[in-house]
Amino acid sequence: MTQIPLEMARDAQFHIQVRQAVLVAQHSSRQVGVLMIDFDTGQPSLRDGRGTANHTRERVLALVAETLRESDALSCKRGGEVAVLLSSLRNPEDAMLVADKILRKLDRLLKADSYATHFRPKIGVSLFPDHGSSASSLLECAELALNSARKNNERCVLYSQQFGASRPPLRLSVLRQAIVRDQLFPLYQPKIDLKNGRVTGLEVLTRWRHPEYGLIMPDEFIPLAERTGLIVPLTLWVLNAAMNQCRRWREHGINTGIAVNLSMWNLDAPELPDQIAALLSSTGVSANQLELEITESAIMDDPQRAMRTVKAIRELGVRFTIDDFGTGYSSLAYLKKLPVSSIKIDKSFTLNMESDNDSAVIVRAIIDLGHNLGLKVIAEGVETLEAKAMLADFGCDEAQGYYFSRPITASDIASFMRNTPESAPKHSRIEMVPPGWTLENAGDI
Q: Residue 266 in contact with residue 295, Cβ under 8 Å?
A: no
Q: What is the Cα–Cα distance from 343 to 381, expressed in whole angstroms?
A: 14
Nearest C-alpha neighbor of 237 from the set 15, 439, 384, 31: 439
Residue 166: CB atoms within 10 Å: 8
Cβ neighbours of residue 42 closer than 8 Å, sequence gap 6 or more: none
pLDDT of residue 276: 97
Q: What is the Cα–Cα distance from 420 to 131, expressed in whole angstroms?
A: 31
Is 121 in a helix, a strand, or coil? coil
Q: Residue 256 in contact with residue 285, Cβ under 8 Å?
A: no
Q: What is the Cα–Cα distance from 240 to 84, expressed in whole angstroms?
A: 41
Q: Residue 216 in contact with residue 132, Cβ under 8 Å?
A: no
Sheet holding 8-9, edge to edge: 8-9, 73-76, 82-89, 31-38, 122-128, 156-158
Q: What is the Cα–Cα distance from 199 to 212, expressed in whole angstroms?
A: 36
pLDDT of residue 8: 53
pLDDT of residue 352: 80
User: What are the structural domains, with CATH classification, of the chain?
Assistant: 8-163 (3.30.70.270), 172-417 (3.20.20.450)
- DSSP letter (8 states) at residue 317: T
Sign of CA dihedral 334, 345, 280, 299: positive
- Pairing mode of beta strands 184-193, 8-9: unpaired
CA distances from 276 to 255, 282, 309, 314 (A): 19, 10, 11, 11
Q: What is the Cα–Cα distance from 177 to 112, expressed in whole angstroms?
A: 57
Burial of 77 (0-12, 13-18, 19+ CB in 10 A): middle
Note the helical H segments in 216-255. Answer: 218-228, 231-251
Nearest C-alpha neighbor of 322 from the set 300, 299, 343: 343
pLDDT of residue 9: 55
Q: What is the Cα–Cα distance from 185 to 141, expressed in whole angstroms?
A: 23
Sign of CA dihedral 259, 260, 263, 266: negative
Q: What is the Cα–Cα distance from 155 to 404, expressed in whole angstroms?
A: 30
Nearest C-alpha neighbor of 319 from the set 276, 263, 379, 265: 276
Q: What is the Cα–Cα distance from 410 to 408, expressed in whole angstroms?
A: 7
Tens digit of pLDDT per residue, the chain (445 long)?
333 444 455 666 788 888 888 888 877 778 999 999 987 544 434 444 444 445 566 677 777 777 777 668 888 765 567 889 998 898 888 899 999 888 888 877 766 655 455 567 899 999 988 888 778 788 888 988 998 888 888 899 999 877 755 556 677 888 899 998 889 999 999 999 999 999 999 999 999 888 776 677 787 788 889 888 899 999 999 999 999 999 999 998 889 999 999 998 899 888 999 999 999 999 999 999 999 999 877 777 778 888 899 999 999 999 999 998 877 655 566 677 789 999 999 888 898 898 889 989 999 999 999 999 999 999 998 988 999 999 999 999 999 998 898 888 898 887 788 764 443 333 333 333 333 333 233 332 2
Is 435 in a helix, a strand, or coil? coil
Residue 103 φ/ψ, nearest 5 degrees: -65, -40
pLDDT of residue 444: 29
Cβ neighbours of residue 343 closer than 8 Å, sequence gap 6 or more: 321, 322, 325, 366, 370, 375, 376, 377, 378
pLDDT of residue 6: 46
Residue 251: CB atoms within 10 Å: 10
User: For the chain, first and last CA: distance in Å?
Assistant: 53
| Threshold 0.75, pTM exceeds | no
pLDDT of residue 323: 92
Cβ neighbours of residue 277 closer than 8 Å, sequence gap 6 or more: 316
Name the β-bridge partners of 342: 321, 376
Q: Residue 409 in contact with residue 10, Cβ under 8 Å?
A: no
